Structure 1
Amino acid sequence: MLNALIQLGRSGYDIHLRDDVLSSLKQSCNLLNSEPIADLHAVIPAEELARTELLITGWGSKPVDMKLREAMPRLKLIAHLAGSVKSIVSPEVMQSGVRVTHAAAANAKPVAQYVLAVILLHNKRVPDWVRLYSEKRSQLRVRSEPLHSLIGNRDKTIGIVGASRVGRYLIEFLQPHNFRILLHDPFVPAQEAKALGVEMASLDNLLTESDVVSLHQPLLPTTQKSFGAREFTRMRDGALFINTARGAIVDQGALIDAIRDGRLSAMLDVTDPEPLPDDSPLWDMPNVLLTPHIAGSLGTEVAEMTEMVIEEIRRFTRNEPLQYEVAADAWERVA
């Protein structure tokens, strides 16, 4: 069995590692310490680190740098119970021969479900109906309202920027609804787009033709503030902009300017900064739906992430290929 340590704070530990989960984990590895360890540098004796072959991390874990790597010369695998690994593992650690796997695929599914729900409700103009119903109450006559002619999910075009894991799940979830789906992603070849059931489009064409534009790019130096005034100007009147990726991909000042007059709507689960300052104008805009970074795994959804990582550990111990390994040569493109 692999000798394993878990580097997690108490809250992360309690979310992921219930008693039944720990029992399952112990069938695949020898836990050198089954208590939550927030910082391996501060607590664990050097001889215990030297024996460690498997390190389990998650939300809020301290970074695994080369100093810690050198203290764990037998380390073979880092199994991350969350999605993004860049804040946890440095490229140097990966290049030192340590393999890394994570639960990004499991975390992507609830994000895509969340975006699908937002799209369906937006096209039905549910937020507008809620406001009208509250204002007019018993006097509301649905079919007499000008809004009535604008609603519906039929014949709508959905633009997806980035074929990330979330983007691909969203494409799958959109298929039964007979949307026209446009995809902009320079890394997706035409054959793959055909298999996905989408139309490839330039970013400009996607923006001008879509009723909904959903952002699914990773935050990289090349994507930071890459969605700004130029992009918002090209979006069609009445379109919805959705961001469940990272707030810093969007030029937030340009976003505020673009939606201030009501020409566009926005659903923002992520912002820059996060959370927003209390005096941000976004709080009071009726055409903006703000949620506090809840699209990803929460509550019962977290279990799928934990199960995915435990299965990856089992596969590793059986010398089977990992299904969700982070490849070192893809480092620049991953979140």
Structure 2
Amino acid sequence: MATADPHPTPGDVWLPIPPGEIDGLPDGLNYVHWDAGPDYPADPARCVFYAVPYMKAADVCLRPLTRMRRVRVVQALTAGIDHMLPGLDHMPPGAQLCNARGLHDASTAELALTLTLASLRGVPDFVRAQDAGEWRPDYRPALADKSVLIVGYGSIGSAIEDRLTPFECARVMRIARTARDTVRGPVHPLSELTALLPTADVVILATPLTAQTRGLVGRDFLARMKDGALLVNVARGAIVDTAALLSEVETGRLCAALDVTDPEPLPADHPLWHAPGVLVTPHVGGPSSAFLPRAKRLLRGQLALFAAGEPVRYVVATAPESTVDRSTRP
């Protein structure tokens, strides 16, 4: 739980959604709307709860933090918070950074399944044929009877398995940082990844970007995947070594379906756009009609806890204690 605000006056809550559009916000707080515009709606120094704008550049989202001397909670609306971690050094000691666990489960899991099916069944080729007015029947692999490995078995990974269940996969394997048992079967630790990779027809990445997972999918990882396997990335682009992936897909040994890339956005002249067997979507796992009602529900729940002086949920990092006098920051 964040330490108590030493200031007795109520603080401001910055929301990227107009407060009037969120039913049931708790009383006793002053709500203002800021969605990354050039002007601030109020003095950042009064902000005690900062809900980070969604799908905005990291530098813009971080900008007000240098002046938020009273902020106790910074609530991202993304599952990954790598873009906000640099802000920890600008937050008061004890302030908490929260992710949006559960918010994007449905939408991202839907896209993971969409990318998997579209790639296996050759939908991009059929769309190109339609554009050319050509009838091109083809024999393509099904998801049925395939072995699927989910790398990153958190709430999104679990939601992906929910959607895989009706498709008659031969086997679903799960990898997370630490081992555990679930009602569906074991979750294997990351240390067993190399042994499981050669058994998977489809590998779906849903892991957060951390120091441990950055570049995880490099030459050794890809070399262990079986010939003809499909790599699906709905996590973060930097988890994959792009040059190593290009080497594999350009030979036709592997295929890939990528909602995230490194670099991102992908430059117009980047070879990934035209690499054989590669399907690219522009980081659209989260933004769908499922986002807004779930974002409102998450913010309402977190603010109810905050207003009641209860611990907020989904805390992933806490600003460290510092000997620097932050009260004199500009």
For the criterion TM > 0.5, the same-fold answer is: yes
Distance 2:236 2:76 in 1: 20
- Partner of 1:307 in structure 2? 297
Distance 1:178 1:28 in 2: 49
Q: In the alignment, is residue 172 of structure 1 matched against residue 162 of structure 2?
A: yes
Distance 1:34 1:263, change over 3 A: closer
1:112-136 residue CA offsets vs partner (Å, 9 max, x unmatched):
1110222234444444555677789
Distance 1:305 1:320, change over 3 A: same
Which 5+ residue runs of structure 1 have no aligned equivalent? Answer: 8-12, 330-335
Q: In the alignment, is residue 195 of structure 1 matched against residue 179 of structure 2?
A: no
- Partner of 1:333 in structure 2? none
Consecutive aligned runs of 4 or more in structure 1 exceeding 6 Å deviation: 132-136
- Partner of 2:225 in structure 1? 235
Distance 1:284 1:105, change over 3 A: same
Distance 2:18 2:287 in 1: 15
Q: CA deviation at 1:240?
A: 0.7
- The letter of the residue matching 1:317 is A
Q: CA deviation at 1:163?
A: 1.7
Query: Which of 95, 109, 129 is the aligned partner of 2:106?
Result: 109
Q: Output the aligned Cα RMSD.
A: 3.4
Contact kept, 8 Å, 2:174 with 2:186, in 1: the verdict is yes
Distance 1:165 1:29, change over 3 A: farther
Distance 1:157 1:228 in 2: 21
Contact kept, 8 Å, 2:203 with 2:232, in 1: the verdict is yes
- The letter of the residue matching 1:78 is V
Query: Which of 82, 94, 99 is the aligned partner of 2:96?
Result: 99
Normalised TM-score (structure 1)? 0.76
Q: In the alignment, is residue 263 of structure 1 matched against residue 253 of structure 2?
A: yes
Distance 1:212 1:4 in 2: 47
Query: Which of 216, 221, 225 is the aligned partner of 2:215?
Result: 225
Distance 1:34 1:133 in 2: 45
Query: Which of 302, 308, 318 is the aligned partner of 2:308?
Result: 318
Distance 1:326 1:200, change over 3 A: closer
- The letter of the residue matching 2:49 is L
Distance 2:126 2:38 in 1: 50
- Partner of 2:324 in structure 1? none
Distance 1:316 1:35, change over 3 A: closer
- The letter of the residue matching 1:109 is A
Contact kept, 8 Å, 1:171 with 1:196, in 2: the verdict is no
- Partner of 1:53 in structure 2? 48
Contact kept, 8 Å, 2:116 with 2:257, in 1: the verdict is no
Q: CA deviation at 1:169?
A: 1.8
- Partner of 1:88 in structure 2? 84
Contact kept, 8 Å, 1:184 with 1:206, in 2: the verdict is no
Distance 2:307 2:278 in 1: 48
Q: Secondary structure at the match of 2:61?
A: coil
* Identical columns (%): 27
Contact kept, 8 Å, 2:249 with 2:276, in 1: the verdict is no
- The letter of the residue matching 1:6 is W
Q: Which moved more, 1:58-67 or 1:173-182?
A: 58-67
Total equivalences in the alignment = 303
Q: CA deviation at 1:18?
A: 6.7
- Partner of 1:6 in structure 2? 14
Q: Secondary structure at the match of 1:248?
A: helix
Distance 1:278 1:207 in 2: 32
Q: CA deviation at 1:157?
A: 0.5
- Partner of 2:236 in structure 1? 246
Distance 1:177 1:198 in 2: 20
- Partner of 1:332 in structure 2? none
Distance 1:85 1:217, change over 3 A: closer
- The letter of the residue matching 2:188 is M
Distance 1:127 1:164, change over 3 A: same
- The letter of the residue matching 2:175 is H
Contact kept, 8 Å, 2:250 with 2:276, in 1: the verdict is no
Distance 1:103 1:119 in 2: 25
Structure 2 counterparts to residues 116-135 of structure 1, below 5 A: 116-128=113-125
Q: In the alignment, is residue 182 of structure 1 matched against residue 170 of structure 2?
A: no
Q: Secondary structure at the match of 2:183?
A: helix
- The letter of the residue matching 2:72 is K
Q: Secondary structure at the match of 2:178?
A: coil
Distance 1:35 1:235 in 2: 45
